[in-house]
């Protein structure tokens, strides 16, 4: 094929890609979502999951997990926010989905991927992948409760212990009326251990007609292109890669692999430190800033220097001076 045709096709791929900021429990809270989406490149972001048990929650629960609902369902930079629900009670899931949309959520995402043993013991998250009929019932109930124009998406893993039910789960999600499917390219047993198995996503892509969003180990522009080549989809969800490199979505969209200078990241740390101050006890506040710096030092030598300064520091005033 002519090189110019290939290049043109490549540009079209870049134009039509969709990039999503992942829901990361205990990591991507409202403050981190605000700062990362402000760097640009994201089409939408997904909240940490709301654990649904057996009833409709009061609005304060949804607002607590997704404060963006008070901002028209968008981050401060205008990125749409989608509430993620986790649970197996069909009536409760449907009722909470309806309320989240009424409050301003940009559609609903359903979690079939959480690997937490505590969550799985209560029949939520990845354990549901052992029973595709349960997956179908939950998605179907949420879909039926919402207007047809409201997006209902789902996120799953390749399976629980293995991939034997992978295609059956994907088909169940599609048949139940989901608008799109995100797949973390690992099983629950594989956790977060590298590598992500992007080639398995190609099998899913061939098996369903709804859009497929690839997730797992996309930490650079090069990773994005390797994932696209293996999975056969241009749409991706970025998780810890965006935490390590806040400008990653914009880099992928611009096809520019230049590292963000530390000088552009330092102010984000200062903003984050100030934002989490009013709502967290000192110990938790220190833990959150350490958590982010720990991720950043995997890509930035300057963060390693900062890590050595703060890793054992417990004095808020001294940390105020640092940030």
Residues 111 and 247 in one domain: yes
Coil, helix or strand for 212?
Answer: strand
Residues 247 and 267 in one domain: no
Residues 182 and 227 in one domain: yes
Confidence of residue 8 (pLDDT cuts 50, 70, 90): very low
pLDDT at 259: 72
Is residue 58 situated within a structural domain?
Answer: yes
Coil, helix or strand for 255?
Answer: coil
Residues 228 and 270 in one domain: no
Confidence of residue 257 (pLDDT cuts 50, 70, 90): confident
Residues 192 and 269 in one domain: no
Q: Which of 198, 223, 254 is the last residue of a domain?
A: 254
pLDDT at 7: 46
* Structural tokens at position 190: 């594989």
pLDDT at 14: 55
Q: What is the pLDDT of residues 162-205, one digit of tens each?
A: 999 999 999 999 999 999 999 999 999 999 999 999 999 999 99
Coil, helix or strand for 160?
Answer: coil
Q: What is the pLDDT of residues 19-48, one digit of tens each?
A: 999 999 999 999 999 999 999 999 999 999
* Structural tokens at position 81: 């926010």
Confidence of residue 5 (pLDDT cuts 50, 70, 90): very low
Residues 267 and 246 in one domain: no
Which is higher by pLDDT, 279 or 205? Answer: 205
Is residue 4 situated within a structural domain?
Answer: no
Is pLDDT of 13 > 90? Answer: no
| Domain containing residue 37: CATH number | 3.20.20.70
Is residue 1 situated within a structural domain?
Answer: no
Q: What is the pLDDT of residues 157-167, one digit of tens each?
A: 999 999 999 99
Residues 193 and 44 in one domain: yes
* Structural tokens at position 71: 């901002």
Is residue 2 situated within a structural domain?
Answer: no
Domain range holding 182? 10-254
Calpha distance 109→62 (Å, rounded): 14
Confidence of residue 256 (pLDDT cuts 50, 70, 90): confident
Calpha distance 189→152 (Å, rounded): 26
CB 28 within 8 A of CB 49: no
Q: Which of 254, 272, 307 is the last residue of a domain?
A: 254
Structurally, the chain folds into a number of domains equal to: 2
Confidence of residue 2 (pLDDT cuts 50, 70, 90): very low
- Runs of H (alpha helix) within the chain: 3-16, 30-37, 59-65, 90-102, 117-121, 132-145, 166-175, 198-207, 221-231, 240-244, 248-254, 262-275, 282-296, 301-310, 316-322
Residues 200 and 287 in one domain: no
Q: Which of 222, 254, 286 is the last residue of a domain?
A: 254
pLDDT at 258: 75
Q: What are phi and psi of 220, to 5 degrees?
A: -160, 170
Q: Catalytic positions, please?
A: 114
Please state, rounded to an integer, the average pLDDT across all residues of the chain: 94
Is residue 275 situated within a structural domain?
Answer: yes
Calpha distance 306→169 (Å, rounded): 44
Is residue 28 situated within a structural domain?
Answer: yes
Confidence of residue 260 (pLDDT cuts 50, 70, 90): confident
Residues 229 and 303 in one domain: no
Q: What is the pLDDT of residues 56-115, one digit of tens each?
A: 999 999 999 999 999 999 999 999 999 999 999 999 999 999 999 999 999 999 999 999
Is pLDDT of 1 > 90? Answer: no
Residues 114 and 191 in one domain: yes
Is residue 113 situated within a structural domain?
Answer: yes
The helix or strand, by DSSP H or E, that contains position 21, with its residue range, turns out to be strand 19-21
Residues 232 and 281 in one domain: no
**Predicted model pTM:** 0.93
Residues 114 and 43 in one domain: yes
| Domain containing residue 306: CATH number | 1.20.225
Is residue 5 situated within a structural domain?
Answer: no
Is pLDDT of 9 > 70? Answer: no
């Amino acid at each position: 094929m002519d090189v110019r045709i290939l290049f043109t096709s490549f540009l079209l791929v870049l134009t039509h890609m969709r990039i999503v900021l992942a829901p990361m429990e205990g990591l991507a809270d409202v403050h981190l979502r605000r700062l990362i989406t402000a760097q640009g490149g994201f089409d939408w972001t997904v909240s940490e999951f709301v654990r649904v048990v057996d009833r409709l929650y009061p609005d304060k629960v949804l607002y607590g997990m997704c404060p963006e609902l008070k901002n028209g369902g968008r981050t401060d930079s205008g990125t749409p926010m989608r509430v993620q629900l986790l649970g197996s009670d069909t009536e409760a899931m449907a009722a909470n989905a309806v309320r989240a949309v009424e409050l301003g959520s940009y559609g609903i995402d359903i979690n079939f991927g959480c690997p937490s043993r505590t969550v799985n013991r209560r029949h939520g998250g990845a354990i549901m992948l052992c029973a595709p009929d349960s997956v179908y019932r939950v998605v179907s109930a949420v879909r039926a409760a919402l207007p047809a124009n409201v997006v209902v998406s789902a996120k799953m893993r390749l399976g629980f212990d293995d991939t034997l039910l992978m295609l059956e789960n994907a088909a169940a999600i599609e048949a139940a009326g989901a608008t799109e499917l995100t797949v973390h390219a690992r099983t629950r047993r594989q956790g977060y251990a590298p590598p992500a198995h992007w080639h398995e996503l190609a099998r899913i892509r061939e098996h369903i007609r709804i859009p497929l969003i690839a997730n797992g180990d996309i930490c650079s522009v090069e990773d994005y292109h390797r994932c696209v080549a293996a999975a056969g989809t241009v749409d991706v969800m970025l998780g810890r890669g965006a935490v390590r490199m806040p400008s990653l979505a914009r880099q992928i969209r611009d096809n520019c692999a230049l590292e963000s200078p530390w000088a552009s990241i330092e102010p984000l740390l200062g903003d984050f430190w100030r934002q989490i101050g009013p709502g967290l006890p000192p110990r938790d506040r220190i833990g959150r800033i350490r958590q982010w710096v720990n991720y950043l030092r995997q890509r930035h030598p300057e963060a390693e220097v900062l890590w050595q300064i703060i890793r054992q520091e417990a004095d808020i005033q001294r940390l105020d001076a640092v940030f």
